[in-house]
Amino acid sequence: MVNRYNPRRRLRRRLHEKKRAKDLISSLPDEILLHIISFTPTKFAIRTSLLSKRWRYIWCDTPSLSFSNCRQRPASIEKTQMCYTAPKMKYFRLKNNLKNNNYYIKKWITFAMSRNVVNLSLEVYGTGFEIPASFFINSSIKQLNIHLASSYNHCLVSWPSLKKLSLRLCRFRYGSIAKLLSGCPNLECLTLYSCKDIKADFPQLQAMVLEMLEKLQNVEKLTFGGNFLQILSLAEVRGVPFPMLKVKTLILETVIFQYVIPGIERLLQNSFELKKLMVRARDCNTIPGSYLTNYLDSLGLDPNICWRSEDGKVILNKSHRNIETKHVTSFIEFMLKNTKSLDQMVVQLDERYISLKFKDLVQTLPNNNNVSIALSTKPMILGEW
């Protein structure tokens, strides 16, 4: 008679079940496995080729590659690129220090471009790196992020599909930014972080900003950044008419200083239906005050008068570094005065304002029974209002 409860048989069955459970992932279709490993750094994705024969070439077809602070020998780069078989690359990210990695970085940039990359992020730390000329001619790239302390002076640029461009620490010689943008006929979003030697065409920027504002007339929730508000301020100083807005919730992400006052004042006055106002007073991308002052000087305008509010009573500083309690108080009073239907106001202060004594600040705020005012040093979402 066969013993159905044989311990050895039971053990073999358990081992078989465990082995089968371990292989459940391997039994998934290639498309799902590729999707899984696309979320891991490429160096780990490549290591999956050691798991089994089933995994040996899975990573080779992943549409995304990401290398961060990893050094490869030339032979290793050649081998990796030879194994990679995906015909089109959706995303490629390269983050590395330039020191002793010049060959490695250029090799990967050229390779990504040859695979018709759609979304490219290039972060190179160090100076003196020259981007290959082939980088500037590509018909497939749609989103590009460049973080590179280097000068740009290429004459020929052709990125016909590019829609989103972000540049950080780049330097542009005279006229080179215009040449760069002329090669991006379908560009929808341009972001510049700490880029030097760019000469701003303020009249053109004003026209673009006001045209954008006009298209947003019926939007009920809007968020504006500091540089946008500065351009609005220039337009207001020059007497350019503003459209009326139906916005009900307005978020302003700006430094508290004089260069945003005229724009905010007109924005609030033209928003009759505004109910909720949030100010995220934080360090953000702003146009240097000296640029704005020089522009007003060229028009024969007095900067000391132009940056004042209509009643001239707002007390604000020229620098975003020297913030005092009186500046915050004056700013809040100014906003309350220019809103008629406001119910709630939130002023969110970052670490720059920690030195301010909140008790003293609260005591100096104006009394307004119709508006609830909240001061915060922590990020708040709309649902918390």
- Does a structural domain hold residue 347? yes
* C-alpha span between 381 and 251 (Å, rounded): 11
Residue 197 CA from chain centroid, whole number: 21
Q: Which domain holds residue 223?
A: 202-384
- Does a structural domain hold residue 208? yes
CATH number assigned to the domain comprising residue 318? 3.80.10
Gyration radius of the chain's alpha carbons: 28
What pLDDT is stored for residue 142 in this prediction? 95
- Does a structural domain hold residue 296? yes
Hey, which residues does 276 pair with through a beta bridge?
249, 344
Burial class (CB in 10 A: 0-12, 13-18, 19+), 182: exposed
Q: In the chain, how many domains are there?
A: 1
What pLDDT is stored for residue 382 in this prediction? 47
What pLDDT is stored for residue 379 in this prediction? 58
- Does a structural domain hold residue 350? yes
- Does a structural domain hold residue 286? yes
Condensed to tens digits (0 to 9), the pLDDT of residues 12-25 reads: 666 666 555 556 67
Do 282 and 320 meet the contact criterion of CB atoms below 8 Å apart? Answer: no
Question: How confident is the model over 52-61, as a mean pLDDT?
Answer: 75
- Cα 74–78–84 angle (5° rounding)? 145
- Does a structural domain hold residue 40? no
Condensed to tens digits (0 to 9), the pLDDT of residues 229-257 reads: 888 888 888 888 888 999 999 999 888 88
Condensed to tens digits (0 to 9), the pLDDT of residues 20-49 reads: 555 667 777 777 877 777 777 777 777 777
Least confident residue range of 52-56, 75-79, 375-379? 375-379
- Does a structural domain hold residue 219? yes
Residue 202 identity: F
Eight-class DSSP state of 385: -
**Cβ-based neighbours of 241, under 8 Å, separated by 6 or more:** none
What pLDDT is stored for residue 117 in this prediction? 92
Query: Residue 176 pLDDT > 50, yes or no?
Result: yes
Give this prediction's pTM.
0.54
Give the closest residue to 67 by CA, choosing from 109, 127, 103, 99.
Answer: 109
- Does a structural domain hold residue 160? no
Condensed to tens digits (0 to 9), the pLDDT of residues 79-131 reads: 788 888 887 888 888 887 767 677 788 888 888 888 899 999 988 887 777 78
